[in-house]
Structure 1
């Protein structure tokens, strides 16, 4: 297949993206910062800036007013102690771009040329990088559309200071936090939570420094495992965490943190701090509390930092879409931002670099807050739109005891009745012959099984996580999932020669011995269940 022809405009579009996104090609680089720009006219270099560079790159060839540019970079590294200096040379006439790394042998210089409508890429010593990484990426970038007003990550903070602090926090805390995770026997992924909260801590500290709003004390509402509170406390920032349920990790933190984690339901209409000096509220993926963060910040006269996550209304109900022309997440972020604006904040928005798809942050500073005279009217109007019942009642967003929803809490007689009905449904219409082979029944789609059950039969497990599917998975000795949403009867297998610890032997009666018309196909000595 012939390579697509690249014109001048597409070539410089790809180079524009390359200049700003070299870190997308080299995973050792966190971010690229342009430190200086010079334009070349009549063989001489003159001071310029990024705006002029952008304008010239976007212009048609006949409209350009200079011969090229010299660009100086600082490349922030993810793990290396020092950052990397580099420079790039743009030549519009030769349709070329060259990048040179200063005194750094582990990074290869490279060049890109437009030759007969195709990218020609060369690397100083790594031809595989040039041919199999750089060239395909440039081809993709050349076909992309310019994103007008695309949001830049970490635009509200000094990126270099943020990156340096993030590296320090990883070196200082990651190993000890991993050990805490192992001790607590947490089921969640430690790498995701640890590196995500270290990045959020680095962002907050850098933000507080750059905006001169370092807190007297902060409160993390819906703090979950308390990790963010722990890291910020360890870095000298006094603060507290509130959550409806205590986590196993809480008691393992230092006393400095553990005594500042409060097991308490945050009810937005009645919540007040029991500690002095709190002037920042944090909502770190705080689920139902997310839309309430700006409201609480306005009522309590604090700043706020919010990472909206699962979409909820102020009532605690699932979020009702307002704008279907954008994604559900974007719609919810817009809703949270509109609440913040109504609360009197001039809301700032940023995008974090964290291992999460939900990484848009909203920041409200009380110094920029306008009048909140109509705040309570707005809140009540929202509750009346999306909540039934008494809008003045306290809104309890989550129960203290987490409900178990895996079909294990349903009355046994209801489960047994459903299991038998589905079992006989799968055996029905199986042709009986003189053949003595054991009947394994037929396969049915999950939809067919559900449609065959009455509303009364379904009501007993309708609130359970997974419903009928969870019930069938729990009875894995009877049913099997056959792919393509088909369910069948599992033929009993003998006791394995090598048993795992989870393999139970002779603890329960054999289902097939009791309920299959031909009984169990296994001898009693071979069956895992009691005959």
Structure 2
């Protein structure tokens, strides 16, 4: 891709965007942004960023590194690993995750190069990535000469594509003596979720020389979801401050930085050195144990095994010190919680109940012409929730997104915009504009499901059978030609 972005700022704040496109724009198989996106999305954002005057809660980007070295290294690694975008087998967005991991790998490689120069080291640093997810960060670091491995509770399909030089282990990590790494230079937590607060602790207890890098994302305490303690900060800033506190209590001189990655969660914490002498290790360990025990009590975790006890046994009967009594690693197979696994009869009942209420909110008598077709009224999602029985609401609360997700999943019947629920009218393009970004329906997927309106609406479907994507009666129904997709969740 050949492009230039040329902002020109004068006294009256004029911003211009010029793009020089060539055949290379599409030739390498990578999906670059389309030209209309540059004017409708990018340019307004550039204007907003150039004119807003808000101060950040965090450090400036790449404050711990020489930016020039980072930029050179990033371009080299981006070119070297961009082919991963084309062969990405996971359900996650390849452009986001590939280039994000390239950027994180660049940061660590430059950080470690600076550390070697500062300490006159010759060997490249070793590492263990805890909660490594798709393993791409491990693959890049190993390919660039850093010995290490990744551990995650679930193996990803892409693991088999890396080759034998990329060491990846499928194993649940429980904070304990069995998960210490005394011979490892650095521990990495890249979107490590429930392990995030434990990584400084594990690093501190592994050895006096073990360092860590953590990029917090989802908010977890030691034993449960992180609970906000103050409202004067953003939740993200408060959580970063919490992990900083954990790091300091663990005995690290803690540094904060902002990565240059395509993510809103881009603040990392680095522990490169200790705030105490090696001779004071016993005292430092007691401080760590007391701090973890205090969180164990406040979170309601069982306290029959306290941090620092050395003669416990793990679940397999081997001697072990499990500091995290009450810690719950994620399941190897994650449950689908997007309402897709709810019983079909239950979902159909909720859909019919909500639709009947909406249809009953009109004064029309149900004429036979298309212009009199009853679109019903509208309700907020909270008002719809008020229609449900308590047992139904309790079941929906266990799903991600709850009632609103269920209604959005049934987009054949409902249109949900701005927290308001409407009956969808498939004749109205405005009514269906939320679906304009969807991929066109493959011919083999047409007529493979019954038309809800044909079966349940008092006036049936407003479309003729030939123009409706759904089947008008059993004789119109066709078997699906698409292979069944296995439900997956490849988030890290």
The alignment status of 1:377 with 2:284, answered yes or no, reads no
Superposition deviation, residue 350 in structure 1: 2.8
Hey, what's the Cα distance between the residues in 1 that align with 2:135 and 2:359? 52
Does the C-alpha gap of structure 1 residues 276 and 502 become closer, same or farther in structure 2, counting only changes over 3 Å? farther
Structure 2 matches for 1:248-259, cutoff 5 A? 248-257=157-166
| Paired positions, count | 392
Aligned to 1:417: 349
Hey, what's the Cα distance between the residues in 2 that align with 1:524 and 1:352? 54
Structure 2 matches for 1:283-432, cutoff 5 A? 283-301=189-207, 302-315=210-223, 317-365=224-272, 368-370=275-277, 371-390=284-303, 392=305, 393=325, 395-431=327-363
Q: Is the 8 A contact 1:349 1:362 kept in 2?
A: yes
Residue aligned with 1:330, SS: helix
Hey, what's the Cα distance between the residues in 2 that align with 1:267 and 1:350? 28
Q: Is the 8 A contact 2:254 2:270 kept in 1?
A: yes
- CA RMSD, Structure 1 to Structure 2 (Å): 3.5
Structure 2 matches for 1:25-174, cutoff 5 A? 130=10, 151-171=59-79, 173-174=80-81
Superposition deviation, residue 469 in structure 1: 2.0
Gaps of 5+ in 2: 17-45, 278-283, 306-324, 429-439, 474-492
Residue aligned with 2:197, SS: helix
Tell which has more relative contact order, 1 or 2 (C-alpha 8 A, sep 6+).
2
| Larger of the two Rg values belongs to structure | 1
Q: Is the 8 A contact 1:298 1:344 kept in 2?
A: yes
Superposition deviation, residue 205 in structure 1: 2.2
Superposition deviation, residue 219 in structure 1: 0.2
Q: Is the 8 A contact 2:296 2:302 kept in 1?
A: no
Deviations 1:41-64 (A, max 9, x none): xxxxxxxxxxxxxxxxxxxxxxxx
Moved more, 388-397 or 296-305: 388-397
Residue aligned with 2:83, SS: helix
- What's the TM-score once normalised by structure 2's chain length? 0.70
Does the C-alpha gap of structure 1 residues 281 and 465 become closer, same or farther in structure 2, counting only changes over 3 Å? same
- Residue 204 of structure 1 is aligned with which of 108, 112, 118? 108
Does the C-alpha gap of structure 1 residues 489 and 322 become closer, same or farther in structure 2, counting only changes over 3 Å? closer
Q: Is the 8 A contact 2:58 2:258 kept in 1?
A: no
Hey, what's the Cα distance between the residues in 2 that align with 1:220 and 1:278? 11
Hey, what's the Cα distance between the residues in 1 that align with 2:340 and 2:56? 52
Does the C-alpha gap of structure 1 residues 448 and 236 become closer, same or farther in structure 2, counting only changes over 3 Å? same
Residue aligned with 1:374, SS: helix
Q: Is the 8 A contact 1:443 1:486 kept in 2?
A: yes
Does the C-alpha gap of structure 1 residues 465 and 524 become closer, same or farther in structure 2, counting only changes over 3 Å? same
Residue aligned with 1:162, SS: helix
Q: Is the 8 A contact 2:302 2:326 kept in 1?
A: no
Residue aligned with 1:364, SS: strand
Q: Is the 8 A contact 2:193 2:217 kept in 1?
A: yes
Aligned to 1:501: 442
Superposition deviation, residue 220 in structure 1: 0.5
Aligned to 1:451: 386
Hey, what's the Cα distance between the residues in 2 that align with 1:507 and 1:412? 16
- Residue 225 of structure 1 is aligned with which of 106, 111, 134? 134
Hey, what's the Cα distance between the residues in 2 that align with 1:148 and 1:436? 60
Q: Is the 8 A contact 1:269 1:394 kept in 2?
A: no
Deviations 1:169-225 (A, max 9, x none): 233x233322332xx2x3333333233322222222222232237655210111111
Relative to total residues, which structure has the larger strand share, 1 or 2? Answer: 1
Superposition deviation, residue 262 in structure 1: 0.9
- What's the TM-score once normalised by structure 1's chain length? 0.65
